[in-house]
Structure 1
């Protein structure tokens, strides 16, 4: 017979067993949930938010770059400038010019179905160029017709861009133990909701890595995160897309540049009077000058000079100048048709005179016209490269002077020309209030270093002055000092020194020989261009692996000057210090 105490103990034991069972069940359930989450992640599914106004470039989503016009895809020009080509230019009349990296020139008008590529007219089924809300767009088909790119419309409606010479990494989804299926998640965490399930063995593209998660794109175009352990067979492959247009390469000559400018103001020199000029391989006569706002060019070219140059195996790069007129320059650069008229004229002269190239010398240009000048040089370069000719542009050292330096977009210019001639002189210009060197050696080297931060050394040609300035410092009746100067050729400077029986002294500060002469209340000073300075300039050229030298100007120099440069380069070459051939 059971006592009440015994009955009580039995009941208590049953309750304890029940409590323990419930606790163990809860513990197992929680543990199972935790284990499930650890291996399979969050089971919460959400919708993928696609954006048909965007274009995807790898893992980067470029928003508000795409519109549909009658079901055709159009891409923002601003997007194209940032991601494909900054050589897209809008003219004042809203026509558009594209100079492609392959050196083709494309001309477009808004809402027109005809497109001019170089000099050929191409008909399209839809307008290539439209605007919406003040923004310009180009059709996808037009873009693929001129650039080595490919747009893909993904299954989810988004647009993807692939560019030539890019890379993509692919991988395959694999089955893992304890995991039911691979889910594409919103964030790089297994606790994040997922967009969709990815089939085993499906190939995906890896866009980036974040910890132990990969940011990937599925065959549907959906982008999200998967665990690193869910993929195998990673392979990196190059993206190769052939250019749809002919490719016109740059045309530099395969030897160091040894150039002199031939200053032609009214008539050309008599070839029989020209000296030996050892080592020279390029001459640049100043033959073509801007004449009016219609883009007419004044022509001072000489067939006899060409014959003489070719008899010496010189390359001839005729110089084209804007006459240093800022307003006239603005008028001819602002309009594509005027720019094209000048370029067509240059191409005509190149053909009839059998020129090897054109040297562009635009100076005193309004600061705001700098981008227009860059665009003109793009167009000139493309046109001349199409016929295998060399293009060079003259620039000053970097300074804050708007019309003489700051307007030059040197980095962009260097991308399209074969050579950049830096006019490394006029440290102290003719009307300088202080007497000084035309181009002291430390000044040249310091400014060259700054230029080389923007321009590759293999494109830079160092300008070398063959003239000096005779400075006159005169004490006035008021006790002030009046400063004036005149430019002297090397021979005239030597004659002036000899007539006064002076002996130049070497000045460490400038790296040049210097003379000073007192006559009454007037002090004359001159920093010389001679063997001392020319050797130093040649050594700078080699020290920085520049493309060569260009002397201003031939009539300022002497046969000895050219011989000094030539002999110095030969000596450096013999020592193994010379610049490699280009």
Structure 2
């Protein structure tokens, strides 16, 4: 029996609705797919301002812009001081007390006062075309003297005024666009990133780096962003020329290879040189002649021309010591301004000329932590003047510790960059008033002190000089109300040997200390001595050789027994 038309109508309607639904679904799928493909592949056409658009004269280095604008243009261009400190030389300072910008290089000290056209280079007057300027609490430095002191390549856009810095020896990779319609420069390495600029056809750009299929580039007008590699072709390389620099100062070095120095301790008068025995192998003497006399920078002088004549007549170099007198308040005031620092420097230069010195040894101790940077600045300012006269510059530092006024005020990495030699005073491990008795300088402690300065403090081994003691201490441990009281007395090498002889003692080697040791009783008192002798000195020389240090310095002449000089000479020269 055939179905009637009435029976077929619902089936046709159902089928039609199904086709309509399928069609709608297909349209939605195609629309979704199209939207997805558009979202994925259609480039962003939005244009946005550059990150630095509010800067009137942005400055760039390696594609990075500085958040403070430069001022002026061409010859009158001035850069913010903090930009210079970040990108050119972090050692440049602004001294608020004297309203001065101070630049120190290996051979020059340049001082500008704000708003003045006269400046001082190594204390000689020079005239500037444009002064240092203070504007809206920003210090601006003219580029004219910067170009003289630093090998900079400064390029300024004629269209936007943007400034791009390069340094000597750097390579610039140039590229260009060949597309007539131009190439969009985007904020990120994706076509979905907005556009900051457009690169015109044949426009030359700097290729800074690459990231997958993209280049990071900079236009000569300033904008930095990303373009697809397929849109840019490499063009050529440019090397920023390396300017010939004046010959660097070369510090004196002993022919034998290792420095052998001793300090001559002068308290009120100089020693009778006729009574000083031969010191074979010694190369440098450092008499403690100069010290900071007041907080205005006056230097007291105990130098003796006859001593210099005697020393140099025996082939010794004379590196006079300059001390801060271990007076922290006086030191703080004297180091606080350029004027007082240069006053000190001029006096030392005068003394060096008068007494025909060959070096200066700086010995600042007991200094406030707040004066750490000022001490570095003083040494930075002092060294070019000393080198100009052919004088070696060295500084004494303690081993590193957490004691602020004994150790932490030394910025050893910064100081090591400036001086010719750094003497580490590797003694007083157990000091005169120590609550516990122990070695003045045990071998493990000494070695650890060396390793710390070489590694974490970045002191070059060819500058590091190991300071060794010619003295020891007689320790007394005495029972006192159930506790042990400790006291000490400083002994010369000879005094220690006298005690051993008088008490008929036999030294025994202490593996823990790496040196000989004796002890004896006086009633209920225990007397202890960690000996400084040929055993301890030979061991220290081995450390000098192990770490290829510059040499050693001994504190102090007169505390040794004469035979120690031959011991040191043989040990230093032994292959």
Do both proteins adopt the same fold according to a TM-score greater than 0.5, normalized to the shorter chain?
Answer: yes
**Farther-moved stretch of structure 1 (409-418 vs 107-116):** 107-116
Deviation of 1:539 after TM superposition, in Å, equals 0.9
1:462-481 alignment, distance < 5 Å? 462-476=466-480, 478-481=481-484
Q: Secondary structure at the match of 1:517?
A: strand
**Farther-moved stretch of structure 1 (288-297 vs 500-509):** 288-297
Q: Equivalent residue for 2:213?
A: 212
Deviation of 1:290 after TM superposition, in Å, equals 1.4
Confirm or deny: 8 A CA contact 1:115 1:123 kept in the other structure. yes
Q: Which runs of 5+ in 1 are unaligned?
A: 1-22, 574-582
Instruction: Determine which of 277, 280, 292 is the counterpart of 1:278.
Output: 280
Q: Equivalent residue for 1:110?
A: 114
Instruction: Determine which of 47, 56, 63 is the counterpart of 2:67.
Output: 63
Name the CA distance, whole Å, in 2 between partners of 1:181 and 1:223: 16
Name the CA distance, whole Å, in 2 between partners of 1:70 and 1:258: 54
Name the CA distance, whole Å, in 2 between partners of 1:559 and 1:41: 86
Q: Equivalent residue for 2:461?
A: 457
Structure 1 residues 434, 168: closer, same or farther in 2, change over 3 A? same
Structure 1 residues 136, 174: closer, same or farther in 2, change over 3 A? closer
Name the CA distance, whole Å, in 1 between partners of 2:430 and 2:491: 14
Instruction: Determine which of 524, 540, 554 is the counterpart of 2:543.
Output: 540
Structure 1 residues 569, 113: closer, same or farther in 2, change over 3 A? same
Name the CA distance, whole Å, in 2 between partners of 1:190 and 1:479: 82
Deviation of 1:304 after TM superposition, in Å, equals 1.8
Name the CA distance, whole Å, in 1 between partners of 2:101 and 2:68: 23
Deviation of 1:134 after TM superposition, in Å, equals 3.0
Instruction: Determine which of 289, 293, 297 is the counterpart of 1:295.
Output: 297
Deviation of 1:232 after TM superposition, in Å, equals 4.3
Q: Over aligned residues, Cα RMSD in angstroms? A: 3.1
1:294-443 alignment, distance < 5 Å? 294-443=296-445
Q: Equivalent residue for 1:119?
A: 123
Q: Secondary structure at the match of 2:558?
A: helix
Q: Secondary structure at the match of 2:462?
A: helix
Corresponding pairs, count? 543
Name the CA distance, whole Å, in 1 between partners of 2:473 and 2:50: 74
Confirm or deny: 8 A CA contact 1:424 1:462 kept in the other structure. yes
Q: Secondary structure at the match of 1:370?
A: helix
Confirm or deny: 8 A CA contact 1:149 1:241 kept in the other structure. no
Deviation of 1:342 after TM superposition, in Å, equals 1.0
Q: Equivalent residue for 1:83?
A: 87
Alignment pair present for 1:156 and 2:157: no
Alignment pair present for 1:549 and 2:536: no
Confirm or deny: 8 A CA contact 2:56 2:69 kept in the other structure. no
**Farther-moved stretch of structure 1 (423-432 vs 86-95):** 86-95
Q: Secondary structure at the match of 1:437?
A: coil
Alignment pair present for 1:490 and 2:488: no
Name the CA distance, whole Å, in 1 between partners of 2:237 and 2:500: 70
Confirm or deny: 8 A CA contact 1:252 1:419 kept in the other structure. no
**Farther-moved stretch of structure 1 (58-67 vs 340-349):** 58-67
Q: Secondary structure at the match of 1:422?
A: strand
Instruction: Determine which of 479, 491, 509 is the counterpart of 1:506.
Output: 509
Name the CA distance, whole Å, in 2 between partners of 1:249 and 1:315: 18
Confirm or deny: 8 A CA contact 1:170 1:203 kept in the other structure. no
Name the CA distance, whole Å, in 2 between partners of 1:82 and 1:448: 31
Structure 1 residues 366, 473: closer, same or farther in 2, change over 3 A? same
Q: Equivalent residue for 2:146?
A: 143
Alignment pair present for 1:225 and 2:229: no
Deviations, residues 90-128 of structure 1 (Å, cap 9, x unaligned): 335242242332431111222212111112222233322
Normalised by the length of structure 1, the TM-score is 0.85
Confirm or deny: 8 A CA contact 1:370 1:407 kept in the other structure. yes
Q: Secondary structure at the match of 2:191?
A: coil
Name the CA distance, whole Å, in 2 between partners of 1:237 and 1:335: 43
Deviations, residues 507-559 of structure 1 (Å, cap 9, x unaligned): 11111100001011111100001111111111111111111111111111123
Name the CA distance, whole Å, in 2 between partners of 1:218 and 1:70: 19
Deviation of 1:434 after TM superposition, in Å, equals 0.7
Deviation of 1:412 after TM superposition, in Å, equals 0.9
Q: Secondary structure at the match of 1:457?
A: coil
1:41-60 alignment, distance < 5 Å? 50=53, 51-60=55-64
Q: Secondary structure at the match of 2:526?
A: strand
Q: Secondary structure at the match of 1:399?
A: coil
Name the CA distance, whole Å, in 2 between partners of 1:435 and 1:191: 73
Structure 1 residues 102, 450: closer, same or farther in 2, change over 3 A? closer
Structure 1 residues 183, 90: closer, same or farther in 2, change over 3 A? closer
Instruction: Determine which of 257, 261, 264 is the counterpart of 1:262.
Output: 264
Deviation of 1:287 after TM superposition, in Å, equals 1.0
Q: Secondary structure at the match of 1:472?
A: strand
Normalised by the length of structure 2, the TM-score is 0.86
Structure 1 residues 207, 411: closer, same or farther in 2, change over 3 A? same
Alignment pair present for 1:528 and 2:525: no
Q: Secondary structure at the match of 1:456?
A: coil
Deviation of 1:42 after TM superposition, in Å, equals 5.4
Q: Equivalent residue for 1:12?
A: none
Confirm or deny: 8 A CA contact 2:474 2:489 kept in the other structure. yes
Deviations, residues 9-55 of structure 1 (Å, cap 9, x unaligned): xxxxxxxxxxxxxx9xxx9xx99x989x97x9656656656433532
**Farther-moved stretch of structure 1 (110-119 vs 95-104):** 95-104
Deviations, residues 475-534 of structure 1 (Å, cap 9, x unaligned): 24x343221111111111111111110000011111110000101111110000111111
Q: Which runs of 5+ in 2 are unaligned?
A: 1-25
